[in-house]
Every structure is written in C-alpha cells, then in structure tokens.
Amino acid sequence: MKVGLILGDQLSHNLPTLQKLDRECDMIVMAEVAEEATYVKHHKQKIALLFSAMRHFARELQQQGWQLRYHSYQPQSTAWSLLDVLSAFLRQSETTELVITECGEYRLQSQITEAWPTALQCRVTVLPDSRFITSKDEFSHWARGRKQLRMEYFYREVRRKTGLLMDGNNPLGGQWNFDADNRQAYKGRPALPERLIFQRDAIDIEVLSLVEEHFATHPGELSGFIWPTSREQALTALDCFICQLLPHFGQFQDAMNQHQHFMFHSLLSTSLNCGLLDPIEVCRAAERAYLDGAVPLNAAEGFIRQIIGWREYVRGLYWLLMPTYKNHNYLQQSTPLPHYYWTGKTDMLCMQQSLHNTLNNAYAHHIQRLMLTGNFALLAGLDPQQVCDWYLAIYADAYEWVELPNTLGMALYADGGVMASKPYAASGSYINRMSDYCRSCRYKVKTSTETDSCPFNSLYWHFINRHQAKLEHNPRMGMVYRNWKRMDAGKKQAILTRADIVIKNIEML
C-alpha cells in the first residue's frame, strides 16, 4: 500500500499526489498538528481557515471513494508534528511508499527529503507541484546568466507561454503593463458593493470554536472570518469578484481608504495559496471578462499580472535562492519590531488602520503591506527577520514561498536589490496622495521637523542619509540624493534630529 500525505496548502483535486495514487488500494493521510500551527504565532483566522478547508477537502475525498485517515487537532496529543502522525500510522500499516507533493516552505521540504526516509523507514517520493503555471526548473532556466532578475521580463515570458491577453506574440492593447492607469485615489465613487458572506456550516463552527479555545494567545480576531473554506465557496467568490469588483479593480488597486479595508481587491489569495482555486482558471476568468467587454483592459491585465507575474515570480525566486536568502540583511537594520504591529495601538492613522485590518481580518492589500507596514519597517530600520516572521504569522494567505521575497526583497530591500531595482521608500506625501488617512491623523503630513510631524517624513530622509554609501549610486535614486545634497544644512539637521527622536521613541508613536 502507498500512503499519500496531503498538506493544508494542497487542497486541490488536481494535486499530483492524487494523480499518482489508486483510490481502490492506497490511503490518504491529512493532519492538523501543533508544530505547523505554532512554528510562528499564526493569526487565529489563518489556523481556522486551514483546519476548516482541510476538513471540507477530506470530506470531498471520502465522498469520492478515497480511503482517508484524518488526524484532528488535539492539544494533548503526543503527535506534535506531521512526522509523529506518519510514524504512528506507518507502524500500524503495511506501507511501501510515502507520496507527497513538494511543499511550499523550505523548512518543511528539507525535513521531508533529508530526515523522513530514515525516520519512517520507507521510500519517500516527492512529486513536483504542477499547480503552478511555471516550474522551478523553468524559472531557474530563465534566471540563468541574467544580471538582474526583474519580474517584468519574467512576466512577459509567462504571458507568451499562457497566451493570456495576447494577440499572437504581442500583448493586447500594444503594451505589456498598464500600471500607469492603476494609481487613482478613491474618492467614494463608484460605490463598493457589499462583500460576500458565506453561511457557516457545522465544520466551520466547530473549527472556529476549537481555535478560539486552544489558540487564544495567538494574534487576531475570529469574529470577522469571511474566507472560503471549500472549493464551491472559492468558485463563488471568484465569480463575485469578476462580476462586481474587477471592472474597477485596475484604477483603484493602489488606493487606500480608512472606511474601506478591502476596496476592489479579490481576496482570492487565500483560496489560491491553499489550493481551492487554480491560478490559470482564475486568470482565464479575468481574461474572458475583458474579451466579453465586461471589464477594461487595465483591470484585467493588472489582476492577471499579480498572479502569473508576481505570484509565479516570487515562488521561482524563493526556491532559486533558498536557504541563504532568508538571512539577508543588506542594510544591516536591527531595530526590534514595535509592539503595535501586534496590537494596532498607534497614533499614526495609516498604520493604525492597516494594522487593525490585519488583526481583524488577517488581511491587508498589497499597498498597505508594501507602502505602510513595510515602508515604515524599512524607514525605521526594523530587523528583517522579525518583520518577515510577523508577515508570515499575521496574514491568512502567507506561506514562506510567497511571503519571504515580498517582505525581505520588495518591502525591506534586505536582499540588496535582487528583487527590487530600488528601495520602496516613501514619505508621508505618497500616503496622502493615495489615501484619506492623513486628513484625520494627529500627525501633520506637510511638516517633517515639528513634534507633531508625520514620522514617515523625517524617517524617510534619515533612511536616505544613513544608507547613502550603499544607495546613492543606484540610478533610480540619483534624483533623491541630489535633492538631499541641495537641501539647506540647517533643515537637514532639524530633520535628522526629529528622526532620531522618532526612532528613540518608536514604541510611543
């Protein structure tokens, strides 16, 4: 008998493990274990999402005739890890081979390949994960010999491979990227539709109760749980996004509003990343909406780029550069993560709103993550490892393959430019342009040296000054450094003094 282990982010009926096994004679094992739920302090909603989605998926497999052993979470269980569960099961069965599809985190994958065959005393077969549009080998081939690994050029190759929004070998609309059309601030029009709310079944209710009881010390709230926990719900969420939100997604995808935490974003990343949706089916749905005249090209292209561009690119980069990538700290930043990342208790309204969204919903959209919580971490010199662990723990869609490059490389520039062509550093003026946060904040976005000045303003120039040796020769930073050098010496000193006070009192902001 062969045994197939299915992980919590592999909830797809097209999973290679299922394709290799025979439902008549082989066995599936799925397990909720403490090690995977607690190796970082995952948000309560993230744990609830995965436990519930796993249980729904297990039920579907059983309905299809699969033999399945399911290990539910038991706080007093001696089976702490996946290996513990498998060891106990294999001792009671005549197993010739363990089959698993490669997982999404180097931490676990290295355990599987290096330790499990000996520990389990059986053959362990690891199958390539075919649920992505590009393989690890394809990315490695694309990256070979390149001086710069920029997403934009990889994205074009994936567009050609898939044919998405293509006219032969050329992009529809005559250009690859419509980002210039996707940077409008939101002024309240068009009105946002009501978000989809799913009726919770007995499985959901049981899991939510379990998480509330046994993971009470983990961050976040469960009351706002909105995530699809089955394939059927995920498809409904996809249809709802395509019909109601995608038409306006493009122009407002970078906008932020203190009363609208989700804006026009799809919220499909949780379903994509745990396997309930397939990336190509999601992209085809967006493409069809454009071809049918239901959405503009900039909206369809911007959304598709997030999936076949960024999502595929960060996975390829992660597996190409791990395990050393995780330890990069190019700018040598070491300030501890402030407490308000876990509580949301700060007077900086933009940060407060983004952190409350994060804690209440296990979600924040990409600009809140990059240009607010990430930008602040960059400017304030926060320790990259602590920041990365926070992002991994706090978001329902976070797995290390997708979280680490986006945080370490894109937000923190800790890889020294492997991923981003320049640091994504910005002062309060960017936040003011793209949101309505600043008008209600106690800090003044128009000043940088006063006691009530926006912390982003002085921190921005402090960042520019302290990293001048490493950044001033970056072609995309030249104008910034020319402006800094031309600034009056007295004003410079006042800005730096204010920033020093901000950093010294970072817990008090």
DSSP string for residues in 89-116: HHHTS--SEEEEE--S-HHHHHHHHHTH
Instruction: Give the CATH architecture of domain 2-127.
Output: 3-Layer(aba) Sandwich (3.40)
Lowest mean pLDDT among 52-66, 137-151, 327-341: 137-151
3-class SS of residue 432: helix
Q: How far apart are CA 269 and CA 262, in angstroms?
A: 13
Q: Bin 210: left if φ > 0, else alpha if -120 < ψ < 50, else beta.
A: alpha
pLDDT (tens digit, 9 = 90+) per residue, 163-186? 999 999 999 989 898 877 667 777
Whether the model clears a pTM of 0.85, i.e. scores above it, the answer is: yes
Tokens of 398: 């976070």
Tokens of 305: 């780029």
Write down the pLDDT at residue 249: 85
pLDDT (tens digit, 9 = 90+) per residue, 190-214? 888 888 889 999 999 999 999 999 9
Closest CA to 468 of 455, 456, 485, 454: 485
Cβ neighbours of 26 (radius 10 Å): 20
pLDDT (tens digit, 9 = 90+) per residue, 113-141? 999 999 998 899 999 999 999 999 999 99
Q: How far apart are CA 391 and CA 42, in angstroms?
A: 9
Q: What percent of the chain is predicted at pLDDT more than 90?
A: 83
Instruction: Give the CATH architecture of domain 340-508.
Output: Orthogonal Bundle (1.10)
Class of domain 136-321: mainly alpha
Write down the pLDDT at residue 260: 85
- Can 136-321 and 340-508 be said to share one CATH topology? no
Cβ atoms 276, 228 nearer than 8 A? yes
pLDDT (tens digit, 9 = 90+) per residue, 265-296? 889 999 999 999 999 999 999 999 999 999 99
Q: How far apart are CA 95 and CA 454, in angstroms?
A: 62
Sorted by where each begins, the domain ranges of the chain are 2-127, 136-321, 340-508
Write down the pLDDT at residue 56: 98
Lowest mean pLDDT among 175-184, 200-209, 383-392, 444-453: 175-184
What's the burial of 213, exposed, middle or buried (CB within 10 Å: 0-12/13-18/19+)?
exposed
Kindly indicate the confidence band of residue 1, based on its pLDDT and cuts at 50, 70 and 90: confident
Q: How far apart are CA 509 and CA 506, in angstroms?
A: 6
Q: Which residues face 170 on adjacent strands? A: 167
Write down the pLDDT at residue 105: 94
